[in-house]
Structure 1
Amino acid sequence: MSEYEPPASRSVTELVDAADQITQITQRFRLVGQHVVVLGGGRGIGRHTAHALAHMGASVTVVDAERDRANEVAEEIGPSARAAVVDATNDRDMGALVADLGRVDGVVDVIGMARYRPLLELSDSDWDSAHNLVLRHAWLTTRHFGQTLADQAAGSLTFVASVSGLGTAPGHAAYGAYKAALTSLVRTAALELGPAGVRVNAVAPGFTLTPRMREVLDEAQLANARAAEPLPRWTTPSDVAAGISFLVSDLAAAVTGQVLVMDGGATVTYPYRLQGLNNPEES
C-alpha cells in the first residue's frame, strides 16, 4: 500500500491534513524493496523495461519463453534480477510461476507480436495464433497475478496494448481485434480489482524501433512509418519502458483503467493531406 493511502481508521480531517503535506516527489518514482515481474522481458521493450525498473530500485524477475534471452537480460541487470522460463499462454505454467515467486508488487506483461494479413485471407490458425500472441497470456496474467495482488491488497498490473487496438488499418483484423480486447480487459480488471488496492493500466505504443522492426522492415518502410508521426524522432523501446515505469511507480498511484498512448502523435493527426491549400474567402 502506498504511503499516500492512509488507513481507513483515520478521520477525514486527518486524511485531508496528510494529503496536504508536501512530499518528496522523487521518492514516488523509487521502487526500492519491491519485486516486479516482467513477462516477455528477454528482448525489445521488455528488456528495456526490466532494466528501467531495476534502475528504480526494484528486484526484477525476467520471464521469457527462451531461456538464453531471459538469462542474458538478468545477467545484464546483475544481482537484483533473476530469470524464469515460462510459456505465458499455458495456464499450469503460469500458476506454477506465481507459486514459485512469492511476494510480487507489480507485473508487466510485454508479450505480443503483430502479424498482418488481409481479412479474407485469415485462416483459423491465423486467428488462434493472434489470440495466443496478443490476448491469452494477458488473461492468464490477470487471473493468476491479479488474485495474488488482490490477496496482498496492493500492487499493479501493466500491459502493452497498441494503437492498432484503438484505430484500424488494412491487415489488422486479428491483431487489432485482440489488442482492442486487451484494452477492454484492462479496464474491466481495473474496475474489479480496484477495491482491493490493485491498479491495472496499459501503454499503447505506435511504431516502435525495436530490434524486430529493424529486422522485418526495409529503409523505405521505416521512413514511411517515421513520416506518419509529428514528432521528429523515433519512438524507442526505452521511451515505452519509461511510460511503463511511470504506471508501475507510485507517481501513478491514482491512475487505473487507463491506456497511455505513446505513438509520437500519430493518432492525433488529421487524416487528409491539405498542405498548401488557402483558406476559402468568406462570402
Structure 2
Amino acid sequence: MELRLDGKRALVTGASSGFGQHFARTLAMAGADVALAARRIDRLETEAASITQDTGQRAIPVALDVADVSSIETCVSATVDALGGIDLLVNNAGIVVTKPSLKQTEADWDQVMDVNLKGAFFVAQACAQHMADGSGGAIVNIASLLGERVSKTEISYCVSKAGLAHMTKALAYEWAKHGIRVNAISPGYVKTDLNRAFLEGEMGQTMMRQIPIRRFGEPEDLDGALLYLLSDLAAWTTGHILTVDGGHSLATP
C-alpha cells in the first residue's frame, strides 16, 4: 500500500502561507482535492491555481476566520458544496503572542486561544458533522513541541497547544463510533519564512545543538507523518500524537 489520498476531499486551514500552504500542496500531490482556507483570500487564489496547474487536482480558495464560528460554518459548507463532501481535515491555523507572562493581556490570551484551541475545535466539529453523515474521515491537528515543553515568553501558545493535544485524544475517543479518526502531529522547530532568520541566528544555532539529529526541520519533514495519519494505512490509528522533532523532546531543557 502507498501513502496515497486518491479520491479524497480535504480542507486545510491556515493555508495562505507556511505549513498550511505546504500541506495543501502535499495532499494534492498525493491525489486529494483540496480546499485552502484562510483570511487572505488573494494569496489563496494564487496558490490554489498553482496547485491545480502543477498537480491536476481541484484546489479551491475558501475564506475563513478561525476565530469566528459563523465563518467556520460558512467555510465548511462552501468546501462541501464545491468538492462534493469532505473526508480529511488538516487543522493547522495557529498564532503566537511572544511576550513575558507578566505582560500578557486578556486580549493576548483570548486571541491565541480563540484561534489555536477554540477555533480548532469548532473547525473539527463542523467537518465531523459532515463526515459522520458519510463514510467517516480523518482529522490531523497540528500541535507543537511546546505543548509538551515550555518557552519563557509564549505561555498562551504553550497552553493552547497542550490543550489541542488533549482535545485530539478526547475527540478520537468520542468520534471513533462515527468512523472518524483524530490524530495530531507535534512538530519541533521547523524552518518557515516567519522564523528562518531567528533559527539561523546565534540563539537559533545554540538551540539546534540540543537536537539529537543536529538540524532544524523543513516542512517536507512532516509530509510522511501527515500522509500516514490521513491515509488508509492508519486505519487502526486514532488518538495518537506523533512527535516529529529530530529528537528534540528527548533532551532535558
Instruction: Choose the corresponding residue for 2:225, options 232, 243, 252.
Output: 243
Q: Percent identity?
A: 29
What runs of 5+ residues in structure 2 fail to find an aligned partner? none
Q: What's 1:99 paired with?
A: 77
Among residues 1, 5, 18, which one is paired with 1:44 in the alignment?
Answer: 18
Residue deviations 1:4-37, cap 9 Å, x none?
A: xxxxxxxxxxxxxxxxxxxxx22xx211111111
Question: Helix, strand or coil: the match of 1:152?
Answer: coil
Separation in 2, partners of 1:227, 1:247: 29
Q: Which has the larger radius of gyration?
A: 1
Greater Cα offset, 251-260 or 166-175: 166-175
Distance 1:134 1:88 in 2: 9
Q: Note the C-alpha offset of 1:155.
A: 0.3
The alpha-carbon deviation at position 117 of structure 1 amounts to 2.0
Tell me if 1:123 matches 2:105.
yes
Deviations 1:69-104 (A, max 9, x none): 211221221152111121122111111122222210
Counterpart position of 1:209: 191
Which consecutive aligned stretches of 4+ in structure 1 deviate over 6 angstroms post-superposition? none
Match 1:69 to one of 39, 43, 46: 43
Match of 2:168 in 1: 186
Please tell me whether residue 53 in structure 1 is matched to residue 27 in structure 2.
yes
* Counterparts of 1:237 and 1:201, CA distance in 2: 18
Q: Return the offset for 1:218.
A: 5.9
CA contact (8 A) 1:49 1:242 kept: no
Partner of 1:149: 131
8 A contact 2:66–2:115 mirrored in 1: no
The answer to whether the 8 A contact 2:15-2:38 is kept is: yes
| Cα distance in 2 for residues equivalent to 1:46 and 1:193 | 24
CA distance in 2, matches of 1:114, 1:99: 28
What SS class does the counterpart of residue 184 from structure 2 fall into? strand
CA contact (8 A) 2:4 2:227 kept: no
SS in 2 for 1:212: coil
Matched length: 245
- TM-score of the aligned structures, taking structure 2 as reference length: 0.91
Give the 3-state SS of the residue equivalent to 2:132 in structure 1.
helix
The answer to whether the 8 A contact 2:11-2:79 is kept is no
C-alpha RMSD of the superposition:
1.6
User: Which amino acid is the alignment partner of residue 14 of structure 2?
Assistant: G
Equivalent residue for 2:121?
Answer: 139
Contact 2:91/2:124, CA 8 A, preserved across alignment: no
CA deviation after TM superposition for structure 1 residue 266, in Å: 0.7
**Contact in 1 for aligned 2:168/2:182 (Cα 8 Å):** yes
Structure 2: how far apart are the matches of 1:55 and 1:69?
Answer: 19
- SS of residue matched to 2:71: helix
Q: CA deviation at 1:251?
A: 1.5
What is the alpha-carbon distance in structure 2 between the residues aligned to residue 113 and residue 220 of structure 1? 24
Q: TM-score, normalised by structure 1?
A: 0.82
Q: Distance in 2 between matches of 1:220 and 1:259?
A: 31
3-state DSSP of counterpart to 2:167 = helix
Q: Which residue of structure 2 lines up, in the alignment, with residue 113 of structure 1?
A: 95
Aligned to 1:88: 66
> 1:215: Cα distance to partner?
4.9
Deviates more, 1:221-230 or 1:211-220: 211-220
* CA deviation profile, 1:128-173 (whole Å, cap 9, x unmatched): 1111231122011122111111121410111100111112231232
Whole-Å separation in 1 of the counterparts to 2:210 and 2:154:
17
Return 5+ residue gaps in structure 1 as ranges: 1-24, 272-283
